[in-house]
Structure 1
Amino acid sequence: MLPATNPQPGMIDRPIVLIGLMGAGKSTVGRRLASRLHLSFVDSDHEIEEAAGLTIAEMFERYGEAEFRDGERRVIARLIDGTPKVIATGGGAFMDDHTRSLILERATAIWLDADVRVLAERVARRAGSRPLLKGGNAREKLAALAKVRNPIYALAPIHIRSRPSPHEATVDAILKALGQ
């Protein structure tokens, strides 16, 4: 396993992969981070939907979570090609052992962590497009996911709190952690 790098100011030498629960801000923060670093941005969920010709919700419904995670792993492996870029992943991507190993070995993983209350407020706007939140209380489901996933997310070498403040504050915290 390659050690996590701390690039020189202005020099990012590998992909940056944002991980965390849904609603943590991976896509929004990722776009802004990429812009500030003059790198390209890729949302793995969007890439998965493009490759499959289906939405994530449709894939879960038709094929189940296990098949979805297999496709997700293949897409993320393609995206982590050594070229510096910012990649936002789906909330469950880092939970897969193979995907997690790939990210930790070939990229700089950053865990965007937020309180369940903040996550619930953020995902309320798009709860219908989130298969793991269907049928039930979003806050309770997010709390259960956090209990299982946070110890795994904590394996990421960089941990950033995503607060209910402007996303630029989160971007600034990431840049500081990267030595930028």
Structure 2
Amino acid sequence: MQDEPRCDRNTNIFLIGPMGAGKSTLGRLLASALKRPFYDSDKVIEDRCGAGIPWIFDIEGEEGFRIRETQVIEELTQEQGIVLATGGGAVLKPENRNALHQRGFVIFLRTTVEQQLARTNKDRNRPLLQTENPRQRLELMREIRDPLYLETAHLVIDTDQRPPRQVMLDIKKKLLNLL
């Protein structure tokens, strides 16, 4: 995790972390509280493709999806004063990590595998969890991705067992101290 940069009203706020950490929910809440535009990179990809993430994975594979994701992140990180929730795997590509870290204030929303399972157990829109052992897949992804989240982030916030509004208020307080 890097030192916290100085922030101002034009500083982008980027949320990273594993699936089920609350990036989209907290991103919407935070954008509303700060009166900023909100984007969800997965939603932007779906809107542009006219298809859901599982379909994109089926047709183009994970690599095809990651190419689309990098294009969207490259574009959105050049905006000013936005809140962006990224997909859980956005940090896998070095160019995404660099764009996020250099062009905004990055918050790693950290959660446990147990919380991820609880939050995603009925969600069929997560192709990487369509496996016989979702826990094992999440643990493997954590092992690979957590160091990348930490490398990219300016701030780490734990989201387990906390209502989204409380997490958002904690983030807002920390951000206002930097603005």
TM-score (norm 2): 0.92
C-alpha displacement of 1:137: 2.1
Whole-angstrom CA distance in 2 between matches of 1:136 and 1:147: 19
Partner of 2:37: 40
Whole-angstrom CA distance in 1 between matches of 2:88 and 2:47: 18
C-alpha displacement of 1:163: 1.6
State whether structure 2 residue 55 is matched by structure 1 residue 51: no
Partner of 1:29: 26
C-alpha displacement of 1:116: 0.9
State whether structure 2 residue 164 is matched by structure 1 residue 157: no
- Matched letter for residue 65 of structure 2: F
Deviates more, 1:36-45 or 1:132-141: 132-141
State whether structure 2 residue 116 is matched by structure 1 residue 101: no
Identity of matched residues, %? 36
State whether structure 2 residue 134 is matched by structure 1 residue 138: yes
Whole-angstrom CA distance in 2 between matches of 1:64 and 1:103: 24
Whole-angstrom CA distance in 2 between matches of 1:54 and 1:131: 14
State whether structure 2 residue 63 is matched by structure 1 residue 66: yes
| 2:4–2:155 contact (8 Å) kept in structure 1 | no
Please give the per-residue CA displacement for 1:5-44, whole angstroms capped at 9, x wherever unaligned.
Answer: 333xxx4322111000000000001000111111111111
TM-score (norm 1): 0.91
Aligned residue pairs total: 174
State whether structure 2 residue 168 is matched by structure 1 residue 174: no
C-alpha displacement of 1:4: 5.1
| 1:40–1:85 contact (8 Å) kept in structure 2 | yes
Partner of 1:16: 13
SS in 1 for 2:176: coil
Whole-angstrom CA distance in 1 between matches of 2:63 and 2:4: 29
State whether structure 2 residue 110 is matched by structure 1 residue 113: yes
- Matched letter for residue 167 of structure 1: P
C-alpha displacement of 1:70: 0.7
SS in 2 for 1:179: helix
Whole-angstrom CA distance in 1 between matches of 2:144 and 2:174: 25
- Matched letter for residue 44 of structure 2: E
Q: RMSD value over aligned CA atoms?
A: 1.4
| 2:70–2:90 contact (8 Å) kept in structure 1 | yes
Please give the per-residue CA displacement for 1:52-93, whole angstroms capped at 9, x wherever unaligned.
Answer: 122111111111111111111101111112310110010001
SS in 2 for 1:84: coil
- Alignment of structure 1 residues 74-85 onto 2, 5 Å: 74-85=71-82
Question: What runs of 5+ residues in structure 2 fail to find an aligned partner?
Answer: none
